[in-house]
C-alpha cells in the first residue's frame, strides 16, 4: 500500500534504471556528471535562487516548439523582447503521453519540413545534450512545463539536462488532464520525480518544484486549489524537495484572488516543513478568453493589477491571442509587457482593499476542513488520505475529467463575483461555511430575480469570454 | 409534455481523446433539470462505450460533444457501431466541430451525412438542445410511451 | 470690466450676428429652425439625457477626419466595432485658430486627393447642413471636441447643426493650448458660447458643456484641475448652461484618482447652482505613452480599473497607438474594448481601498483654498478673481505654455506615486497643506537617497512612458 | 569651474508655433540648478525673439527646443538673424527634430549645417546638455571671463 514515505535509495536507483531504459536517450543520464554540470551554471541560471531572492513578481510565459534552434530563438525573443524574467520549455503532447516514438517522428518531420508537427519541445528525444544546449544558450533560468501524468523519464533527462524547475504533481497533472490514469499510480510516479529532485537537492542543486495550481482552470474555488497545493507540497517535501512554488489561478475577483494568494502563502508555510522554501505563483486567467485581442488585454491587465496588489513571487502570463490557442511569439511577448507595465505602475502604490482579511479567513477555514478530512481519511497518511478522500468525494475538483475525482462539486459566482460553491455533493465542509456560501449565492439570485441553479454555473463559465465577470441573465439586471 | 420527458434517458459524452469536461457537465445539469435521466459518460469516450451505454440504459437520445477539432475523424463509422449494437435513438452532436469553422452550414452538412439528427455549434444554449430533443421525441409518440414504461 | 454676469439678450444677438458674418456658412444658422431640428432628434441622440441617465460609465473615444463621408464611416466603426456609447467629432487645428480659409483649402484638397490634409473635422466649413448629415447618420449622441480659444462661430454652427455637447472652456482651452491668447479675451468669448448653449437650454434643448479637465496633461495636481473645473462650471451656469460634465485626467495613482473624481463630483454639486445637473468625465492618462502597444494597453487598463472603482459618468479612452499620434480606427476601437472589458469585469466587485477618504479630504481642502483665493481676488466676482489670481500666481497650472499663467508651480510624485506639489511658487495654499506635501516628498527623497529637486519632476514626466509610475533614479532603489 | 558657470546666461525657448512646454520647463530648472542664469522665452518663440533676448541679456548660449517635427523649417535662416543682431553665443538645438527620425546622424548633420554647435535628440538628459555647455564655454576662456564681468 502506497504511503507518504520517502523512496529508499536502492528503490530509487532501481526505478531510475528501469525508467531510463524506456528510451535510448535515458542511457546518457549520469547523476554525478549532472551534478557537476549544474554546479558549473552561473548564479543567474539557478532557478530557485533567482525566484526566491526576487524583490518583485517575476514574469514567465508559456512556450515550446519542437526544434532546438527554434526553441532557443523563441526563448531569446521572450527574454529580450518580452522581458521575461523566467523562461519555460513547454513539452509536446506525445511526450506527455509517454509516446516517445511518435514524438521522435514529429521531431524528425519538423526538422525535415520546418513545420511544427508537435505542440511543444520533446525534451526526452532531445536528450541530455539537447537540453544542455538550450540551458547554455539562454541567459535566464528555465522551467519544464508539461502536463505529464508519468513524468519520470522526462524528469530524469531534463534534470540531468540542466533544468532546475519542474512543473506538475500527481493530482494537478492527473485530475485536470486525463480520464483514466489512476491517482494511486500517478502519486507513485510523482514520488519518484520528487525523490529525484530531492537527490539533486541533497547535493546542493535545489530543483524547484511547482505543483500546477489552476487545476481545471474553470472557476475552481480557492480552498480546493490550495488544499491540493498543500498535499502536493507535502508529498514533494517528504521526498526531499526544498524549493516549492505553490500555484493559484486567477478567478477574476480582486479581493478573492489577493486573499487566496495570501492564504496560499500562509498555509504553505504552516503545512510544509520549515526546511522547505515556499514561494507562490499566480496564473493569469486560465478560463475561456474573449475572442478579441483588445478585450483579452483587459483580462490580462486585471491579472497584472491583482499581482501588483498580492505580490506573488511569480506570475505566469497569458497572451492576447489566448482565444485562438498557441500565440505567436510577438503576442506572447506582448502579454508579458502588458503585465509588466501594469505591475510596475501599480506595485509601488499602497492599495489596501477592505475585506481581504475576511475573505482570507474564510479560505483558510475551508482549506483546513479539506486538509482535516484528508488526514482523517488516511489516518494521518496524506497519500492514503488523498486517495480515500477523492474516492468518497470528501475532496473533489469541479469540472474534473478524471475518473479519480467525482467532479460533482459545482461552483458559481456570488453577487460580488467571488467563486462560491453551488453544489457541494460530498465535499467535506463545515455546515457554517456552507451557510455562508449559500447566503452569498442567494443574494445573487435575489439581485438577478432568478433561482439558484446550474444555469448560473453555465453563465459564469462563459462570462469573461463574453466580456463580463458574472454571468448575469441576458437583458441585464 | 413534462410528463413525457420525465422518464426519457439520454446518454452524454465527449468523443475521442478530447478531455474538455465543462460543456458536458453543464449539459448534464441542464438535461437533468429539464427532467431527463442523464447517463454522463464523461470525456474521452469511445464509439463503443456510447453504444454500450445506450443499449444498457435503453436511451432515447445519444448526445455527443467534441471541442478539440477532431470530431469528424472521431465520428467516422459511429452510426454503424450504434446500429450494430441495436441502438434506436436520436443522435445529436455539438461543439467546435471543425478546426477552421468558417462555414458552419458546411460543417452541419458533413455531420448530417455522418448520421447525426441534429448538429449544434459551440455557442448553442443547452435550452436549445433540450427544446429540440423534446420536439424530436414528441413527434414519435410510440417511443415516448415506450420510454415511460421502460424507465 | 468683464464680470461673471449673464450676457443680455440684445448683446447676445449682436455678437451672434457679428460672429456669423465671419464665414459664409454662418448665414445658414437660424435659431428657431435649429430648435425644431433638435426637437426632432430621437431620445437616444440627446447627449445630456443619455449621459445623465446611464447606470455605468459611458465610453467615448477621440476622432475626427476632414471629409463628411469619412467621418460618418469612422464614427459608425467606433460605435459598432468599438462599442463606444458616446461619439466625438474632433475639430482640425486651422478651425481652432479660426483660420477657416485654410481649413477650406485643406478640406477641398482632402476631397480631391483623398489625403487627410487636416487633422480633424472642419465643422464650420461643413456648415449646418454638413453637421446635420453627420448627426442624422450616427445612431448615438455626438460631442464637439476641439481646443479652440475663440469657439464662437464653431458653437453657433455646431449647435444649429444638431450637436448637443461641446467641450472646452475659457481657461482649459487657453492655458494648455496657446501662448498669447489673453485670458480675459477667452473668458469673454466663452461667455458667448455658454450663453448660446443657455439659450438652447431655455428652449428645452439642454446643450451639455464639458470643461477640459486634464489641462496640460502632465502631472496636474488634482486640486488645481478641480478648481478650474469649478470656475468654468460657474461661468457656464451663469450663462444658463444646465448640463455640465466636469473633467479630470488620470494621474495613475488609483487612490488619488478615485479620491479626485469623488471630490470633483462633490464640490461640483456644492459650488454649482442646484439647477445644474453635474456629471463627471475621467480621461485616461494624458501624459506621455510608452512607445509600445502592449505597454500602452497596460496604461489604458489601469485607467479602466480606476474608472470601475470611481464610476465617473463618462470615460474618454486612449488607444494603444497613442505614442505615435492619431490612431487607426482599429486601434481606437481596441482602446475602447480593452477599457470596456476591464470596467465590466471590475465594476460589480466591491473594491473599497483604504485612504481614499483621507486623500479626498486633502484634495477638497486644497481646492477650497484655491476657490477662496479666487473669490478674494475678485471681491466675489469669479471672472475678476480668476484673472487676478492667475496674474498674481495665486492660481497656477504646471507646465502651462500660456503667458496668462505663471506656470511656476511644479509637481512631483510622492513615494506612493501620488502627485504632490514640489514648487509652490505663489500658489495660494494653507501652510499646513504645504507641510503635508513637503513631508510626502521628503519621504520619497529618503527612499531614493537623494535630495528633493527638479530632477524628480523630470524623471516623473517620463516615468510612465518608460514603464513605471514613479521616476526613481536609475539603478533602482 | 563652478565659479565660471555661476554667471553665464543662457536663453531658452521653443521655436516656431510649437507649444510643448514641459521640456523647456525641465531644462530651465536643470540649467538654473547647475548655476546658469536662465532666460526662458517659453513656447512659440520667433527667431527674432531669440535674437533680441540674446542681445538684451548678453547670453553665452542660445538653446532651442522643438518637439512638433517642423524644426528644420522653423530654423531656416536663424543663424543669419542671430548674426545680424550681433549675437556671439553657442547655439544648441534639441527635441524631436524630424518627423520620421529614422537616422539621427542625418538629422544632426542637417542642423549642424544650419549653424547649430550641438544637436540633441529627445532622449537626451539635461545633464548631458549642461556638461556639453560647460565644456564649450570653458574652451573659450575669453568669453568665459567676459561673461564673469558682464553678468
Model confidence band, residue B100 (pLDDT cutoffs 50, 70, 90): low
Is the confidence at residue A303, as pLDDT, over 60?
A: yes
**Mean pLDDT in chain C?**
96
Does the beta carbon of B21 lie under 8 angstroms from any beta carbon of chain A? yes
**Domain that residue A336 falls in:** 9-346
Cβ within 8 Å, pair C399-D42: no
What average pLDDT is seen over chain B?
Answer: 85
Beta bridge partners of A245: A279
pLDDT at B102: 64
Query: Is there a contact between C453 and D43 if contact means CB atoms under 8 Å apart?
Result: no
- Rounded to an integer, the average pLDDT of A404-433 is 97
Q: Report chain A's mean pLDDT, rounded to a whole number.
A: 96
What is the CB neighbour count within 10 angstroms for residue D147?
22
- A167 as an active site residue: the answer is yes
CB C248 within 8 A of CB C283: yes
Average pLDDT, stretch A281-309?
97
pLDDT recorded at residue D144: 42
Q: Is A37 contained in some domain? A: yes
Listed residue (A324, A283, A97) closest to B19, CA to CA: A97
Percent of chain C with pLDDT over 90: 94
- Is C112 annotated as catalytic? no
Is pLDDT above 80 for A400?
yes
The pLDDT of residue B146 is: 42
What is the pLDDT, as a whole number, of residue A244?
98
Which single residue is written with the C-alpha cell 497650472?
C397
In chain A, the percentage of residues whose pLDDT exceeds 70 is: 99
Decide if A122 is inside a domain: yes
Q: Which residue has the cell 456609447?
A: C85
**With 60 as the cut, is the pLDDT of residue C129 above it?**
yes
* Residue A471 predicted with pLDDT over 70: yes
Instruction: Collect all residues of chain C within an 8 Å Cβ-Cβ radius of residue D29.
Output: 410, 454, 457-458
pLDDT above 90: residue B99: no
Per-residue pLDDT at B141 exceeds 60: no
How many angstroms separate the Cα of C118 from the Cα of each of B80, C106, C109? 69, 6, 9
pLDDT in tens, A10-63: 999 999 999 999 999 999 999 999 999 999 999 999 999 999 999 999 999 999
Phi, psi values for residue D38, rounded to 5°:
-110, 130
Decide if C240 contacts A332 (C-beta within 8 A).
Answer: no
Verify whether the Cβ–Cβ distance A254 to C292 is below 8 Å: no
Q: Is the pLDDT of residue B5 over 90?
A: no
Least confident of A64-78, B20-34, C387-401: B20-34
Residues A172-220 pLDDT 10s: 999 998 888 899 999 999 999 999 999 999 999 999 999 999 999 999 9
Residue A469, domain member (yes or no) = no
- Please give the average per-residue pLDDT across D71-86, as a whole number: 95
> Is residue A305 one of the residues assigned to a domain?
yes
Asked if the model's pLDDT at residue C326 lies above 90, the reply is: no
Q: In this predicted structure, what is the pLDDT of residue D124?
A: 87
Chain C contact partners (≥3 CB pairs within 8 A)? A, D
CATH of domain D2-48+56-124: 3.40.50.280
Residues D44, C401: C-beta atoms closer than 8 Å? yes
Report how far apart, in Å, the C-alpha atoms of C197 and of each of A112, B2, C206 are: 73, 62, 7
**Residue C64 annotated as binding site:** yes
8 A C-beta contact, residue A191 and residue A234: no
Q: Is residue C417 part of a domain?
A: no
- Cα distance from C166 to chain A (closest Cα, Å)? 29
- Residue B45 DSSP code: B
The pLDDT, as a whole number, for residue B7 is: 67
Bridge-based pairing state of the strands A419-423 and A410-413: antiparallel
Scan for cell 506639489, then name that residue.
C421
> Once rounded to an integer, what is the mean pLDDT over residues B119-147?
75
pLDDT tops 80 at residue D148: no
A415-433 mean pLDDT: 97
User: Residue D7: its pLDDT value, please?
Assistant: 67
pLDDT at A117: 80
Dist CA A228 CA A246 (whole Å) = 10
Question: Given an 8 Å threshold on Cβ–Cβ distance, is C417 in contact with A295?
Answer: no
Confidence of residue C364 (pLDDT cuts 50, 70, 90): very high
> What angle, rounded to 10 degrees, do the helices at A68-80 and A329-346 form?
30
Tell whether D44 is within 8 A of chain C (Cβ). yes
Q: Which residue has the cell 507513485?
A: A188
Q: Residue A8: CB partners within 8 Å, gap ≥ 6?
A: none
By the 8 A CB rule, do B26 and B79 touch? Answer: no
More confident residue, B69 or C329: C329
Q: What is the percent of chain A where pLDDT is above 90?
A: 94
Q: Please report the pLDDT score of residue D3 as a whole number.
A: 43
pLDDT bracket for residue C39 (50, 70, 90):
very high
Q: What ipTM was estimated for this complex?
A: 0.90
Give the model confidence (pLDDT) of A222-270 as tens digits: 999 999 999 999 999 999 999 999 999 999 999 999 999 999 999 999 9
- D139 pLDDT more than 70: no
Fold assignment, B2-145:
Rossmann fold (3.40.50)
pLDDT at position B125: 86
Residue A43 belongs to some domain of the structure: yes
Is C15 near chain D, with CB under 8 Å?
A: no
Closest partner residue to C345 (CB to CB) among A252, A346, A350 is: A252
The residue from D20, D57, D70, D79 that is catalytic is: D20
- The answer to whether chain C touches chain A by having 3 or more C-beta pairs less than 8 angstroms apart is yes
Sign, Cα dihedral of C458, C464, C465, C467: positive
Query: Is B43 close to A399, i.e. CB distance below 8 A?
Result: no
> Any chain A CB within 8 A of the CB of C341?
yes
Residue B4 confidence (pLDDT) above 50: no
CA neighbor of C259 nearest in space, from C212, C236, C225: C225
pLDDT at B42 over 80: yes
In the predicted structure, residue C476 carries a pLDDT above the cut 60: no
> Would you say the C-alpha torsion C199, C202, C208, C213 has a positive or negative sign?
positive
Residue A273 lies in a domain: yes
Residue of A253, A293, A342 with shortest CB distance to C298? A342
pLDDT of residue C342: 98
Q: What is the pLDDT of residue C179?
A: 86
Please give the pLDDT value at position B139.
40
**How many domains would you assign to chain C?**
1
Subunits adjacent to chain B (3 or more Cβ pairs under 8 Å): A
- The predicted model gives C356-381 an average pLDDT of 98
Q: What is the pLDDT of residue D100?
A: 58
- Contact yes or no for A277/A265 (Cβ under 8 A): no
Selected catalytic residue, list A96, A132, A413, A444: A96
Q: How far apart are CA A230 and CA A222, in angstroms?
A: 12
Average pLDDT over residues B84-93: 96
CATH number, position A37: 3.20.20.240
pLDDT band at D60 (very low <50, low <70, confident <90, very high): very high
Euclidean distance between CA atoms A310 and C360, whole angstroms: 25
Answer yes or no: is C389 within a domain: no
Percentage of residues of chain C with pLDDT beyond 70:
99
In this prediction, residue D102 carries a pLDDT of 64
Which tens digit of pLDDT belongs to each residue from C40-88?
999 999 999 999 999 999 999 999 999 999 999 999 999 999 999 999 9
Given a cut of 50, is residue B22 above it in pLDDT? yes
- Which residues lie closer than 8 Å to C195 by C-beta, 6 or more apart? C6, C7, C12, C239, C240
Least confident of A135-149, A258-272, B102-116, D46-60: B102-116
Amino acid at each position: 500500500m502506497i504511503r507518504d514515505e520517502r523512496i529508499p535509495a536502492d528503490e530509487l536507483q532501481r526505478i531510475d534504471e528501469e525508467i531510463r531504459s524506456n528510451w535510448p536517450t535515458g542511457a546518457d543520464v549520469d547523476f554525478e556528471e549532472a551534478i557537476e554540470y549544474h554546479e558549473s551554471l552561473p548564479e543567474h541560471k539557478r532557478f530557485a535562487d533567482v525566484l526566491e531572492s526576487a524583490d518583485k513578481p517575476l514574469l514567465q510565459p508559456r512556450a515550446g516548439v519542437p526544434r532546438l534552434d527554434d526553441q532557443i530563438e523563441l526563448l531569446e525573443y521572450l527574454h529580450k523582447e518580452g522581458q521575461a524574467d523566467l523562461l519555460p520549455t513547454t513539452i509536446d503532447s506525445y511526450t506527455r503521453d509517454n509516446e516517445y516514438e511518435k514524438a521522435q517522428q514529429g521531431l524528425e518531420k519538423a526538422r525535415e519540413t520546418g513545420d511544427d508537427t508537435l505542440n511543444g519541445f520533446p525534451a526526452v528525444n532531445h536528450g541530455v545534450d539537447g537540453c544542455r544546449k538550450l540551458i547554455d544558450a539562454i541567459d535566464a533560468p528555465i522551467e519544464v512545463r508539461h502536463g505529464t501524468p508519468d513524468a519520470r523519464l522526462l524528469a530524469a533527462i531534463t534534470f540531468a539536462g540542466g533544468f532546475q524547475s519542474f512543473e506538475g504533481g500527481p493530482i494537478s497533472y492527473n485530475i485536470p488532464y486525463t480520464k483514466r490514469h489512476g491517482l494511486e499510480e500517478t502519486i507513485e510516479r510523482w514520488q519518484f520525480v520528487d525523490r529525484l529532485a530531492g537527490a539533486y537537492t541533497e547535493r546542493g542543486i535545489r530543483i524547484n518544484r511547482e505543483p500546477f495550481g489552476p487545476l481545471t482552470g474553470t472557476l475552481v474555488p480557492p480552498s480546493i486549489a490550495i488544499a491540493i497545493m498543500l498535499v502536493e507540497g507535502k508529498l514533494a517535501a517528504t521526498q526531499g524537495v526544498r524549493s516549492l512554488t505553490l500555484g493559484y489561478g486567477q478567478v477574476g475577483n480582486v479581493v478573492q484572488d489577493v486573499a487566496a494568494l495570501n492564504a496560499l502563502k500562509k498555509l504553505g508555510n504552516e503545512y510544509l516543513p520549515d526546511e522547505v522554501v515556499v514561494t507562490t505563483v499566480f496564473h493569469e486567467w486560465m478560463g475561456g478568453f474573449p475572442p478579441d485581442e483588445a478585450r483579452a488585454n483587459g483580462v490580462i491587465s486585471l491579472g497584472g493589477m491583482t499581482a501588483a496588489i498580492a505580490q506573488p513571487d511569480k506570475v505566469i502570463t497569458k497572451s492576447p491571442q489566448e482565444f485562438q490557442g498557441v500565440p505567436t511569439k510577438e503576442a506572447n511577448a506582448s502579454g508579458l509587457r502588458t503585465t509588466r507595465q501594469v505591475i510596475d505602475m501599480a506595485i509601488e502604490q499602497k492599495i489596501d482593499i477592505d475585506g481581504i482579511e475576511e475573505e482570507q479567513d474564510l479560505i483558510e477555514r475551508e482549506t483546513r476542513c479539506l486538509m482535516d478530512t484528508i488526514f482523517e481519511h488516511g489516518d494521518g497518511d496524506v497519500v492514503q488520505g488523498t486517495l480515500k478522500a477523492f474516492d468518497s468525494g470528501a475532496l473533489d475538483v469541479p469540472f474534473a475529467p478524471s475518473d479519480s475525482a467525482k467532479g460533482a462539486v459545482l461552483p458559481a459566482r456570488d453577487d460580488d463575483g467571488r467563486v462560491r460553491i453551488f453544489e457541494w455533493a460530498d465535499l467535506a465542509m463545515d455546515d457554517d461555511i456552507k451557510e455562508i456560501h449559500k447566503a452569498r449565492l442567494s443574494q445573487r439570485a435575489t439581485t438577478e430575480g432568478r433561482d439558484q441553479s446550474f444555469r448560473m454555473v453555465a453563465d459564469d463559465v462563459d462570462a469573461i469570454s463574453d466580456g463580463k465577470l458574472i454571468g448575469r441573465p441576458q437583458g441585464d439586471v | 409534455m413534462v410528463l413525457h420527458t420525465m422518464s426519457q434517458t439520454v446518454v452524454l459524452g465527449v468523443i475521442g481523446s478530447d478531455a474538455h469536461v465543462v460543456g458536458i457537465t453543464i449539459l448534464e445539469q441542464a438535461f437533468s433539470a429539464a427532467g431527463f435521466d442523464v447517463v454522463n459518460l464523461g470525456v474521452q469516450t469511445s464509439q463503443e462505450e456510447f453504444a454500450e451505454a445506450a443499449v444498457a440504459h435503453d436511451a432515447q437520445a445519444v448526445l455527443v460533444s467534441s471541442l478539440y477539432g477532431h470530431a469528424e475523424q472521431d465520428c467516422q463509422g459511429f452510426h454503424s457501431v450504434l446500429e450494430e449494437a441495436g441502438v434506436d435513438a436520436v443522435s445529436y452532436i455539438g461543439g467546435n466541430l471543425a478546426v477552421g469553422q468558417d462555414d458552419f452550414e458546411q460543417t452541419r452538412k458533413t455531420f448530417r451525412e455522418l448520421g447525426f439528427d441534429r448538429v449544434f455549434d459551440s455557442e448553442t444554449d443547452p435550452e436549445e438542445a433540450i427544446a429540440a430533443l423534446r420536439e424530436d421525441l414528441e413527434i414519435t409518440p410510440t417511443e415516448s410511451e415506450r420510454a415511460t414504461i421502460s424507465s
